[in-house]
Amino acid sequence: MLVEKGKRLEAMVALVDRTLDSIGKGTVMSAEETFEGDFKQANAAMHEEEAKERWGKTDAYAESKRRTKEYTKEDWRNVRQEADAITGELAELFASGAPPSDPRALHLVEKHRLHIDRWFYPCSRAMHVSLGEMYVSDPRFAEHYDKQRPGLAQFVCDAIRANAARE
């Protein structure tokens, strides 16, 4: 663990060095350059460590690791595009004033659940409810949704609950 932590810290130091060099030259790093490479890897390693600590002994974690280890950059691009499209549609629906129980919201959160099921691990409706609750209770997840539209995390959580109640 210490070796991994050291690698992450080295990556962050390298990013700071590149940033300071860029400033010294009077140039501005693009967002892509800022979050490319070492920092991105360090951030991913940090999230991976946390996920392993929280869920490492679960079947879902093992299945996700098995599936994703073979993914190409194109696969990851597809995963992100699909997820972003679903989130965007949910944000639009929320902005329209539709309630979480609206059939369109239920369709979108079911699409979200099936996205997880397809790309990562079998995701039952009950497991999806747990994820929805995490989207509200964990500030990082809440921020992900709420930066699209304030209140979206709660809307998604409530729609997931309503979808699960249909079983």
Structure tokens, 75? 């696969």
Q: Which CATH number characterizes residue 126's domain?
A: 1.10.490.50
Q: How many domains does the chain have?
A: 2
Residues 106, 90: contact at Cβ < 8 Å? Answer: no
Same structural domain for residues 2 and 51?
yes
Identify the pLDDT of residue 37.
47
Amino acid at 57: K
39 and 6 assigned to the same domain? yes
Q: What does the CA dihedral 66, 132, 147, 32 come to, rounded to 10 degrees?
A: 0
Per-residue pLDDT of the chain (167 residues; tens, 9 = 90+): 666 666 666 666 666 665 565 556 665 555 445 555 444 444 455 556 666 676 667 788 788 888 888 888 888 889 999 999 999 999 999 999 999 999 999 999 999 999 999 998 888 999 999 989 989 998 888 888 999 999 999 999 999 999 999 86
Give the span between the Cα atoms of 117 and 127, in whole angstroms: 11
Say yes or no: 51 and 64 in one domain: no
Please indicate, yes or no, whether residues 73 and 144 belong to a single structural domain of this protein: yes
Residues 117 and 64 both lie in one domain: yes
Residues 85 and 78: beta-carbon distance below 8 Å: no
3-class SS of residue 14: helix
Residue 92, pLDDT score:
97
Exposure letters 120-145 (e unless 16+ CB within 10 A, then b): bbebebebbbebbeebbeeeebbeeb
Q: Which pLDDT score is estimated for 40?
A: 47
Both 8 and 63 in one domain: the answer is no
**What is the value of pTM for the model shown?**
0.71
Amino acid letter, 65: K
Answer yes or no: do 2 and 74 share one domain: no
Same domain, 65 and 140: yes
pLDDT in the model for residue 38? 45
Q: Supply the pLDDT for residue 91.
A: 96
pLDDT score at 39: 45
96 and 158 part of one domain? yes
> Residue 25 has what pLDDT?
60
Residue 76 lies in domain = 58-167
pLDDT at position 51 is 65
* Same domain membership, residue 80 and residue 50: no
Q: Identify whether residues 35 and 83 lie together within a single domain.
A: no
The answer to whether 130 and 142 are in contact (CB under 8 A) is no
